[in-house]
Chain A
Amino acid sequence: SQQGEEDPQALSIQEGENATMNCSYKTSINNLQWYRQNSGRGLVHLILIRSNEREKHSGRLRVTLDTSKKSSSLLITASRAADTASYFCATDRGGSYIPTFGRGTSLIVHP
């Protein structure tokens, strides 16, 4: 079963707007990762945030982690049409560092 659940399932915005996706999980984690997948292609790693970190940035991406709420958010600022993809969160927990993926958020950015 999926440990992480992304919300919303789908998001449609205009180019230039910000996109926020959320991930909630059920049990304590070691790490949380965000990946992007373009249609039918391999996943691309975006950011890894450890359980003792609260925020990380990478270019136009900002990830926050709230372990008390067991949730994370991915913010893409000034979105571009090329950001159109599915975004997945993946968590690993306990003695296993194998990430468990959620179902993903499908993001469409209209030019």
Chain B
Amino acid sequence: DSGVTQTPKHLITATGQRVTLRCSPRSGDLSVYWYQQSLDQGLQFLIQYYNGEERAKGNILERFSAQQFPDLHSELNLSSLELGDSALYFCASSVRDIGEQYFGPGTRLTVT
């Protein structure tokens, strides 16, 4: 158990809908990262927050947004969902804004 929690575990929704994925980092970790893992694209970095502020952006679509709250938990919002958004979404955390990351168990999103 990495200490990073993600909810929900599974999510099935229809195209065009909006969902929110939630992540609680390990106690004491200030940095949160979001990744998308799919068979064709592999593991893609989406976005990083450090102590409440956006620190780095990767291949995140405009339909996706995220935030980190004062208690350091983070949410990833996915809107206008498309079939291609079906994937595993991982959250990871680290103590600082660099170094080894601790991954949560992931949320499996299926868009039908």
Contacts and interface: CB of A to CB of B under 8 A. Distances in A.
Interface string A31-52: 0010100001111110010000
B42 A42 contact: no
Interface in A34-90: 35, 40-45, 48, 88
B4 A42 contact: yes
A43 B101 CA distance: 9
A43 to B, nearest CB: 4
B10 to A, nearest CB: 11
B88 A40 contact: yes
A46 to B, nearest CB: 9
Contacts of A42: 2, 4, 90, 92, 103-106
Interface string B19-40: 0000000000000010000000
Interface of B: 2, 4, 33, 42-43, 45, 48, 56, 58, 88, 90, 92, 97-106, 108
